[in-house]
Structure 1
Amino acid sequence: MKTKTLFLNYAILFIALISGCASDDFQDTVGICPIVESTTPLSNAIAVPVNSNIIVTFNEEMDPTTITQSSITLTGSSTVAGTVTYSGKTASFKPTSALAENTTYTGRVKTTVKDLKGNALQTDYVWAFTTGLILRPIVTSTDPINNATDVILNKVITATFSMPMNPSTLNATTFTIKQGVNTIPGTISYSGSTASFTPTIALDANTTYTATITNGAKNSSDTALLANYVWTFKTGINPTIIATDPLNNAINVNLLKTVTANFSIAMDPTSINATTFTLKQGTTVVLGTVSYSGITASFDPTLPLQAGKVYTATITTGAKSTIGIPVANNYLWSFTTTVTPPIVVLPSAINLGTAAMFGAFGGNAGITNQGLNTVINNGSIGTTAASTLVTGFHDANAIYTETPLNVGNVTGRIYTAPPAPGTATSFAVASQGLLDANAAYLSISPASKPGGTDPGAGELGGLTLAPGVYKSASGTFKISNGNLTLDAQGDPNATWIFQTAAGLTVGIAGPTGAKSIIMKNGALAKNVFWYVGTAATINGAGGGVMVGTIIANAGVTFSTAGNAAQTVLNGRAISLVASVTMVNTTVNVPNN
């Protein structure tokens, strides 16, 4: 038995010596050759992550001094740099930098590696694997989009990614906005999958900007964009004022003028207001209402402008387009009003106050037009009633219930109570006008101007009258037997006051029934006044020329519905309580 065992040991020793794997000490257990049991990645593996470490596991513990960068190597298109470590039965190769995507690499364990007994790997162990494509973040959308135009000046620029990003990699270095070579200052934030750049100051108008997300931006797995992402956009243009009314340096501007400015592009209506559109006379701010429609801003003074004064209108940079871009600079223009004052103060001390600007005033009951040819020249109309009680009229700013058959043109303004187009401001103007009309009514009453005579026993037709005060003894005046002539006898200040406790009737029925007032020898319409206790009816058959300021307590009516003949009033038709009705009537409001 001993002989047999000895023989087997020698046989094993002989085989080991031949193979090079014998122990140096014959008394020790005979060793076997070390082998590579496994690798990570496996041989022929695909889609291997580019940040993988290469791991080699042996069947036994190895001599650490033989596990080096020269004994374990990795090559692709060239030798890969890395560090080799060893622990237990495992050697690790850690590449210095990430491996290339979609690339085949060859790992090699050389025969210079040995186990603890000095037994070497018998042949080089070689295997290969292929890396995969990295799932990189990409920019999926931006705001503004690439090549966008008309971008607002306070725009927050955003970029949305295909996956969650590492917020710390989105900063002033990786997300920039430039105008040419100049970097725009701003703050950067990140939420969800969107990075936002908020400029510290507003962008410049009509300017091209370039936004960049660099490949320093990384996802939550620390994978970067493949390349820089760059896009451009252009801001919108500044709106400009292309026309004004009045023009700059205009003269003889109407005292009832609504000041307007037209813009080059549509504006944000909320930015056109009493702060951004102002009117001043010297340093005095003019009160008024500001409105905006289409491309036109309008400033409607609350009261008539002063005669012979220079006014300056201003549109400030607070006025902005619909996309929030302001006027580049404050826009100023000036104009001078006409020398004609708006208030009538006659030598006879008859003061109409603000009522002087009205060609017709309907008390608290409204004004009605029937016909296509009614016009108020050189003046306004008003009522303290709601705007719905003014029918068949329009001014430069609004239409008041006109129909195809009832159109009345007011060259001044229409002042009423709300609803729109009536406003609190226009109601205030109308209310003051009514107060002043009442005061004027009392100033020409028999109590204030006593001593009136009645040369025609209530009939004024066919008479020629010198300046003076005339009072109807019966309580009514008529002009029915012919025309009334007023003779100033060369006195430009000649004044006539007619007083009737009840009604005034001008004209008679029939196609030739219209009667007129003839002015001669310098007589002026502004110096003729009618005090009417109830209502005045003027040429019910149509036609004729009435003269003077009629202040009636209970209404004034011109012509009759259906009459085509034009009835003319050179003066004013003011009713304190009831309405004023016109049919194809021309009212020429006298100047002072």
Structure 2
Amino acid sequence: MNTRKKWFTASFLALIMTAFMISCVDENVEQIGICPEIVSTDPENLENSVNLDQMITITFNGPMDPATISEDAFTLESGSNINGRVIGNVEVFGTTSYNEENYTMSFTPDNSLLAETNYTATVGTTVKDKVGNALPINYVWQFNTGKTPVVIATNPVDQATNVPLNQVITVKFNQEMDAATITASSFIVSDGTESISGQVAYSDSTASFTPDAELTANLLYTATITTTAGNTDAISLVGNYSWEFTAGTKPEVIETNPLNEATNVAINAVITADFSQNMNPLTINASSFTISDGTDLISGQIDYSGVTASFIPENDLVAGATYMATITNEASSADGVSLESNYTWEFTTEDAGLSIVETNPIDQSTDVPLEEEITAEFSEEIDPLTITSSSFTVSDGTNLVSGLIEYTGAIASFIPDNNLMSGTTYTVTITTDVVSNTGLSLENNFEWTFSTVAPAGPSGVDLQSIATYGIFAGVGISNNSGFSEIRNMNVGITPGVRSSITGFPPAIVVNGAIHASDDTEPAGIAATLQQAKDDLVEVYLFVEGATSPAPATVAGDLGGTTLAPGIYKSTSTLLIQSGDLTLDAQGDVNAVWIFQVASDFTTVGGAGGNVILSGGAQSKNVYWQTGSSATIGDGTTFKGNILALTSITMNSGAVAEGRMLARNGSVVMTDTNIIEKP
């Protein structure tokens, strides 16, 4: 009875175990807790950016039979994943192992995985648990390795030249790198002989190498990122990356003014230094640019522009003294590179000699009054006998100005005999003939210039070629009686002919000639007369239309009045009858008057009716534009140039300092008239 029960129990257990074993290999049956299962993998299925040195692990749900964990039980293949299909699989070889404590199977590839590659891992059904249950089906999953890091930019760029000596060398990658791999062994800078020391840092995809010392000028350097550098997925560069650059130069002082060892330097000199390259203006200051007299620093203003530093002493340097200028190595280039060392030079100022310390007017002055007294103050008292009209001159550019020279103390004065001319630039010269009481002289002639105020009244009138004529008419010129004279000017007529000129003699032309449109001599005289006529018309229209300054309206009789320079306009006739008309230049010899008369212009002459000039006025600067005809009365003393549209008549005994210019009609001299060149 007992034997039968034991046989039944053993048979039942065997039957149950056989059923379980048959169920583990049935693909359609899952026995939880009985069949071996894979509960996790590393990498996980479809994981990306897997490290290239990744060890693949598979963890089961229970203890496995180590004997079944063999190289045949696991395969790893590489290939390309195209639209979900793995193309071109290549088996990866490696070593398989099993850890019984954590039920984990491991596969260690013989070589690093390939970057940017799809891998397929498979655990076969040959693996079994401790009781012989096999994995129901092959377990398959995929993963992708990470992207290869590459260098995408460097500073300096490859083959760069003139690289600053304090350059920080940087390299930028296409992705984040493992900072632990960016070291002195993976980032190397060499001078061609040996690696240079420096500090390596990494941040935000960029590695930097800061040399411990400045680069050597003009030397070729090679920078290298080795394959030791890797990304955060432990993927290294495919190969070493190298580039070259050449260091530039330190800034240098290439020129100074004054030069080193210069002598006779002006005591008011500005000291300058030119650099070989652009400098940082903030480093050009009172600390880096100094001037010393050997004992003390002198004060001054420091400027920097372009490549030039300037030191402007606050006061004149001491005559006959030696100074030392220094540019220290605190001065640095725009790139922050300092001079190799301090740069110094010396110069000596001119001996204490005679100089001019002040002038009046000052050099380049404008709007100087016409009555100005010209003075020069010397650095010490002068021997009065050396201040003469040859050692102290004033010129208008063409002619010397006459004047009186005086000297008191250390000041020489030039007092012009007449007012200066308006609108004129003058040059004053004091020569080296001037000697001080101690025997010192100027090193060179001393010159300065100034310009006087603009002329009073309107601007001057250019008569052009008509200026050579004292009489010019359109149809006739006559001297009715007496011995009239036209002095230092010509007489001309066009289109009138020679026969239209009468009374010559007894009238004469002194230092001039008579020309008519039908003359054959001199050659081309007809054309010359026509040009003069054209110029007369142009001048007439210019004077008639002058508007600056604004014309003052006049009417009737101007006799007994005094007029300042300007433009005076009459809308009808104009007389000078009840007394003389005085034109006062107020000291301006270039002052201009323009009279615009719409109709006839008449002077009565005799005891009244004359034109009187005062205050430096000149008849050449007075213009009478007459819209009809002009009559100069008996015995009139007249000043100015008459520009008449029709005719001009000079009555008996009338004299003029000016010109009688009739556009269309005649010029008539009644009896013994004089026309003098203005």
TM-score (normalised: structure 2): 0.45
Contact 1:62 1:114 in 2 (8 A): no
Query: Are 2:136 and 1:100 equivalent residues in the alignment?
Result: no
Contact 1:207 1:234 in 2 (8 A): yes
Within the candidate set 281, 286, 289, 2:301 is matched to 289
CA distance in 1 between counterparts of 2:352 and 2:413 reads: 28
The alignment of Structure 1 onto Structure 2 pairs a total of residues equal to 389
2:282 is paired with a residue whose SS is helix
Residue of structure 1 equivalent to 2:99? 85
Residue of structure 2 equivalent to 1:538? 415
Contact 1:540 1:560 in 2 (8 A): no
1:278-316 deviation per Cα after TM superposition (whole angstroms, max 9, x unaligned): 333334433333323333333333333334433333322
CA distance in 2 between counterparts of 1:48 and 1:177 reads: 31
1:285 is paired with a residue whose SS is coil
Change (3 A) 1:154 1:264: closer
Per the TM alignment, residue 120 of structure 1 is displaced from its structure 2 partner at its CA by 7.9
Runs of 5+ in structure 2 lacking a partner? 1-10, 26-35, 78-90, 368-375, 436-447, 453-678
Residue of structure 1 equivalent to 2:315? 303
Change (3 A) 1:66 1:110: farther
Change (3 A) 1:79 1:513: closer
Residue type of the partner of 1:297?
Answer: A
Contact 1:167 1:190 in 2 (8 A): yes
Per the TM alignment, residue 514 of structure 1 is displaced from its structure 2 partner at its CA by 1.0
Residue type of the partner of 1:53?
Answer: I
CA distance in 2 between counterparts of 1:271 and 1:357 reads: 37
Residue of structure 1 equivalent to 2:408? 529
Residue of structure 2 equivalent to 1:329? 341
Change (3 A) 1:514 1:62: closer
Residue type of the partner of 2:402?
Answer: A
Residue of structure 2 equivalent to 1:369? 365
CA distance in 2 between counterparts of 1:294 and 1:156 reads: 26
Change (3 A) 1:117 1:202: closer
CA distance in 1 between counterparts of 2:258 and 2:183 reads: 53
Q: Which moved more, 1:99-108 or 1:198-207?
A: 99-108
Spell out the pairing of 1:357-506 with structure 2 (5 A cutoff): 358-360=357-359, 369-370=365-366
Per the TM alignment, residue 146 of structure 1 is displaced from its structure 2 partner at its CA by 3.3
Per the TM alignment, residue 134 of structure 1 is displaced from its structure 2 partner at its CA by 1.9
Change (3 A) 1:273 1:177: same
Per the TM alignment, residue 539 of structure 1 is displaced from its structure 2 partner at its CA by 1.9
Within the candidate set 240, 257, 263, 2:252 is matched to 240
CA distance in 1 between counterparts of 2:269 and 2:16 reads: 126
Query: Are 2:251 and 1:249 equivalent residues in the alignment?
Result: no
CA distance in 2 between counterparts of 1:48 and 1:318 reads: 52
Query: Are 2:208 and 1:341 equivalent residues in the alignment?
Result: no
Within the candidate set 121, 143, 148, 2:160 is matched to 148
1:519-570 deviation per Cα after TM superposition (whole angstroms, max 9, x unaligned): xxxxxxxxx53589xx97732758xxxxxxxxxxxxxxxx454345644346
Within the candidate set 28, 32, 40, 2:21 is matched to 32
Contact 2:64 2:129 in 1 (8 A): yes
Runs of 5+ in structure 1 lacking a partner? 1-11, 14-22, 345-355, 372-380, 383-432, 445-464, 468-478, 487-505, 519-527, 543-558, 573-580, 586-592
Residue of structure 2 equivalent to 1:583? 450
Identity %: 30
Contact 2:279 2:334 in 1 (8 A): yes
CA distance in 1 between counterparts of 2:356 and 2:300 reads: 17
Residue of structure 1 equivalent to 2:67? 66
Change (3 A) 1:53 1:255: same
Higher RCO, Cα 8 Å, sep 6+: 1
Change (3 A) 1:197 1:47: closer
CA distance in 2 between counterparts of 1:273 and 1:46 reads: 63
Within the candidate set 58, 62, 69, 1:55 is matched to 58
Contact 1:106 1:126 in 2 (8 A): no
Residue type of the partner of 2:313?
Answer: P
Per the TM alignment, residue 126 of structure 1 is displaced from its structure 2 partner at its CA by 7.7
1:67-109 deviation per Cα after TM superposition (whole angstroms, max 9, x unaligned): 3345534466563124233579x76233156433437677574
CA distance in 2 between counterparts of 1:248 and 1:531 reads: 35
Q: Which moved more, 1:288-297 or 1:126-135?
A: 126-135
Within the candidate set 135, 153, 172, 1:160 is matched to 172
CA distance in 2 between counterparts of 1:295 and 1:48 reads: 54
Contact 2:300 2:313 in 1 (8 A): yes
Change (3 A) 1:562 1:31: closer
Residue of structure 2 equivalent to 1:562? 423
Query: Are 2:528 and 1:514 equivalent residues in the alignment?
Result: no
Change (3 A) 1:317 1:223: same
CA distance in 2 between counterparts of 1:100 and 1:513 reads: 100
Residue of structure 1 equivalent to 2:223? 211
1:81 is paired with a residue whose SS is strand
Change (3 A) 1:99 1:193: closer
Contact 1:73 1:79 in 2 (8 A): no
Contact 2:164 2:249 in 1 (8 A): no
Change (3 A) 1:187 1:265: closer
Per the TM alignment, residue 66 of structure 1 is displaced from its structure 2 partner at its CA by 1.8
Contact 1:166 1:217 in 2 (8 A): yes
Residue of structure 2 equivalent to 1:187? 199
1:175-223 deviation per Cα after TM superposition (whole angstroms, max 9, x unaligned): 3433334444333444444344333433333333333333433444444
1:25-68 deviation per Cα after TM superposition (whole angstroms, max 9, x unaligned): 689645636658779699x999894636253869xx77524233
Within the candidate set 243, 260, 270, 1:231 is matched to 243
CA distance in 2 between counterparts of 1:106 and 1:512 reads: 112
1:242 is paired with a residue whose SS is strand
Contact 1:67 1:86 in 2 (8 A): no
Change (3 A) 1:143 1:287: same
Residue type of the partner of 1:55?
Answer: I
Which of the pair has more CA radius of gyration?
Answer: 2
Contact 1:253 1:337 in 2 (8 A): yes
Change (3 A) 1:205 1:318: farther
